Amino acid sequence: WTAGNLIGMLALVGGLVAYVIGASIGSGNTTLTLTLGIAAGASLPMPLLFALAKGGLHTVVGMSREAAWRIHVAVGSIALLFSLVHGAVSFWTFEGDIFTSFFWVMGFVSVLLMILGVVPAYVHVLAPKVLRYDKFKLMHFASFWGYVAALVHMWDHAAKFQTVRSILVAALSTAAALAFIAEKLFVTCTAFRAAVDVSASDVMSDSEARHIVLALKVPGFSYAPGQWGYLKAPKLSAVAHPFTIVPGSSTDREQVRFFMKVGGTGTFTEGLAAAVDAIKRNAPGGGQQSNLVSDQTHDLGLRLEGPYGTPPRMDAASVDAVVFVLGGVGVTPALSLVPRARELHKANRVRLLWSLRSPTLLQRCAPMLAHHLEGSSPSVFIKKGLGQPPGGFPLGAQEGRVDVAGFLEKAA
């Protein structure tokens, strides 16, 4: 979060509250109810506009996709709050009469569906072991159907009262929904989406973590450094999962890789790791091979969709230097971005700070970075007490805690 984000959220809430007070002060409960409805309807398109992949508000203001998701959650919570207050005041004002109209009932249905879609998001963030990503994503779809029910409610209001504000709010909310649907259809029709062959797979384990490495044979697939794709394994999960695309073999341009940290019990990555381990145990040689032919991994039914994401601009005309601050498996974007940065800048203009716990992950990723970081003195820190191997850790990694502030001050 930045100061600009917080100011924007406060301005939105303050503006809506000021409108409700200014438009309903000195009037009765009926006016207050209608005014709250307009405020709720006006805030409703905001979450959708920040959920768009490329044509959303974040693109207009130059905001990253990750920051846009945080704003999506915040403005969605604000819209839900005003909808709840509108519903409560409606019930207080009209009591049982609200159930005499189908369109009024749709307003309450919309609030219930939005609650069903939004609350799981908070549960997943605060207690991911209680509600896993897969179930949260499926439940979150309920909020969109709540949005559709709210549109029915708003257009009935606009048709009955025929005020400029009621028609404008209903029209804007409808336009946001149509834009969201249109983009989903466009992505569905234009994105690469196909079953893939697994040319190699492995599960790396040490005392700190487990990581999956998948090498996929994907003819005709192209991507830019830093982009990501959705992996879907229908036998493991009904939900597609996003992972950063890692460059494949230097001799095979149709190969891409994915590095994933294995989560806890019941997660997609845990199920995928178990499937890879089972395949290795049944492979010739009793699982001693880390490279598996595609026929042995075909049962996973993996599908790839993408690529997605807008890579950062790193050209010399736009930036003076490129600094990477990474943690753990969050190194994966840098595995393609560092080589690209070195193509555009001298060694002393590309700096890297990486803090991690897994020596196996360091061993696996170091060869992909070492050549491109020559002369740039990378700062890599690994957890203390793991036992330094003969010759030291790759990339000159040091044991101990990282001083991010000191690194950034030195890099500046």
Residues 6+ apart with CB under 8 A from 188: none
Q: Which residue has the higher pLDDT, 69 or 251?
A: 69
Kindly give, in sequence order, each residue whose CB lies less than 8 Å from that of residue 206, ignoring residues fewer than 6 positions away: 358, 359, 360
Between 293 and 27, the higher pLDDT residue: 27
Q: Is 301 in contact with 195 (CB distance < 8 Å)?
A: yes
Residue 182 has pLDDT above 70, yes or no: yes
Phi, psi of 255 (to 5 degrees): -110, 135
Amino acid symbol at 7: I
Question: 3-state SS of the chain?
Answer: CCHHHHHHHHHHHHHHHHHHHHHHCCCCHHHHHHHHHHHHHHHCHHHHHCCCCCCCHHHHCCCCHHHHHHHHHHHHHHHHHHHHHHHHHHHHHHHHHHHHCHHHHHHHHHHHHHHHHHHHHHHHHHCCCCCCHHHHHHHHCHHHHHHHHHHHHHHHHHHHHCCHHHHHHHHHHHHHHHHHHHHHHHHHHHCEEEECEEEEEEEEECCCCEEEEEEEECCCCCCCCCCEEEEECCCCCCCCEEEECEECCCCCCCEEEEEEECCCCCCHHHHHHHHHHHHHHHCCCCCCCCCCCHHHHHHHCCEEEEEECCCCCCCCCCCCCEEEEEEHHHHCCHHHHHHHHHHHCCHHHEEEEEEECCHHHHHHHHHHHHHHHCCCCCEEEECCCCCCCCCCCHHHCEECCCCHHHHHHHHC
Closest CA to 280 of 216, 358, 204: 204
Instruction: Give the model confidence (pLDDT) of 355-392 as tens digits.
Output: 999 999 999 999 999 888 887 778 899 988 888 888 88
pLDDT of residue 56: 66
Please tell me which residue, 119 or 26, carries the higher pLDDT value.
Answer: 119
Average pLDDT on 41-53 reads: 87
- Give residue for tokens 């979060």: 1
User: Of residues 73 and 63, which shows the higher confidence score?
Assistant: 73
Mean of all residue pLDDT scores within the chain? 85
- The structure tokens listed for 4 are 């600009």
Residue 279 has pLDDT above 90, yes or no: no
pLDDT surpassing 70 at residue 284: no
Q: Is a pLDDT exceeding 50 seen at residue 300?
A: yes
Q: What pTM was computed for the model?
A: 0.80
Share of the chain above pLDDT 70, in %: 92
Q: Tell how strand 350-356 and strand 322-327 pair up.
A: parallel
Q: What is the pLDDT of residue 41?
A: 93
What lies within 8 Å, CB to CB, of 248 at 6+ separation is 215, 216, 254, 255, 256, 257
Q: What is the pLDDT of residues 11-45, one digit of tens each?
A: 989 999 999 999 888 788 888 989 999 999 999 99
Phi and psi at 257, nearest 5°, equal -130, 160
Dump pLDDT digits (tens) for 124-141.
Answer: 889 888 888 889 989 999
Each residue's pLDDT tens digit, 72-104: 889 999 999 999 999 999 988 887 777 888 888
In sequence order, the 6+-apart residues with CB closer than 8 A to the CB of 42 are: 16, 19, 169, 172
- Partnered with residue 210 across adjacent β-strands are 205
Closest among 114, 110, 113, 115 to 154, alpha carbons compared: 110
195 versus 288: the higher-pLDDT residue is 195
Q: Report the sign of the C-alpha dihedral through residues 283, 287, 292, 296, in that order.
A: positive
List, for residues 316-334, the tens digit of each pLDDT value: 788 888 999 999 999 999 9
Which strands make up the sheet holding 255-261, listed edge to edge?
Answer: 197-205, 210-217, 255-261, 246-247
290: pLDDT strictly greater than 50: no
- CA-atom Rg of the chain in angstroms: 26
